[in-house]
């Protein structure tokens, strides 16, 4: 990656926040009838993809020996494309 420690910290914060959001959605979906199926189809692929990205960022931070208290650079919000 071409990111510095501040950018990596921002990406880590973004992916961690998305992880929490997807975890809440999965838990909520599983409360209803057929929720496990809905969760598996709708949220699981995004969850595991996001988790992989988070681990990649954390691995890159470890390789670059980024300090734990580095201040995160802002990450541009992801916008949905209109079709």
The predicted model scores a pTM of 0.75
In this model, does residue 61 exceed pLDDT 50? yes
Banded model confidence at residue 65, pLDDT cuts 50, 70, 90: very high
Say how far apart CA 39 and CA 37 lie, in whole Å.
5
Confirm whether 44 is domain-assigned. Answer: yes
Confirm whether 14 is domain-assigned. Answer: no
In this structure, the number of other CB atoms found within 10 A of the CB of residue 16 comes to: 14
Is the torsion defined by CA of 50, 29, 77, 45 positive or negative?
A: positive
Confirm whether 8 is domain-assigned. Answer: no
Query: Structural domain tally of the chain?
Result: 1
Position 83 scores a pLDDT of 46
Domain range for 41: 34-64
Position 16 scores a pLDDT of 95
pLDDT in tens, 2-59: 888 999 999 999 999 999 999 999 898 888 788 788 888 888 899 999 999 999 999 9
Confirm whether 4 is domain-assigned. Answer: no
Position 77 scores a pLDDT of 54
């Amino acid at each position: 990656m071409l990111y510095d420690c501040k950018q990596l910290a921002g990406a880590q914060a973004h992916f961690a926040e998305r992880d929490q959001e997807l975890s809440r959605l999965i838990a909520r979906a599983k409360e209803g009838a057929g929720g496990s199926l809905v969760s598996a189809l709708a949220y699981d692929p995004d969850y595991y993809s996001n988790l992989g990205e988070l681990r990649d960022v954390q691995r890159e931070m470890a390789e670059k020996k980024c300090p734990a208290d580095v201040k995160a650079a802002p990450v541009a919000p992801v916008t949905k494309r209109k079709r």
